């Protein structure tokens, strides 16, 4: 069963995007939970070559986005966060 406190996040940069699994202090809806085999911070893109920067205090940014746009994130299946 997926951990209820790890959220699927897509970090969006100018020319790339990265799939992340962000640990949070609050529970997230089932459709936004990371699978157990996905480690926290896991990224599918080439962050070193595209230059994306993760925002400071990423978990706080994700929790704020969940508060502000929960229904849209649930519809997509992940939370969108712009790269810093």
Q: Is the pLDDT of residue 45 over 80?
A: no
| Residue whose tokens read 């699994």 | 21
Query: Can you give the pLDDT at residue 49?
Result: 60
Query: Can you give the pLDDT at residue 38?
Result: 78
Report domain extents, the chain: 6-82
pLDDT digits (tens, 9 = 90+) for 6-19: 999 999 988 888 88
DSSP string for 18-83 = EEEEEE-SS---GGGBPPTTS-TT---S-HHHH---PPTTHHHHHHHHHHHHHHHHHHHTSEEEE-
Query: Can you give the pLDDT at residue 4?
Result: 75
CA-to-CA distance for 82 and 61, rounded, in angstroms? 10
Q: Is the pLDDT of residue 1 over 80?
A: no
Query: Can you give the pLDDT at residue 40?
Result: 72
Q: Is the pLDDT of residue 47 over 80?
A: no
């Amino acid at each position: 069963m997926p951990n209820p406190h790890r959220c699927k996040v897509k970090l969006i940069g100018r020319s790339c995007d990265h799939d992340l699994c962000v640990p949070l202090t609050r529970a997230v809806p089932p459709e936004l939970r990371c699978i157990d085999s996905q480690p926290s911070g896991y990224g599918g893109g080439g962050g070193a070559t595209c230059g994306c920067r993760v925002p400071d205090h990423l978990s706080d940014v994700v929790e704020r986005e969940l508060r502000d746009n929960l229904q849209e994130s649930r519809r997509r299946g992940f939370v969108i966060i712009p790269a810093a």
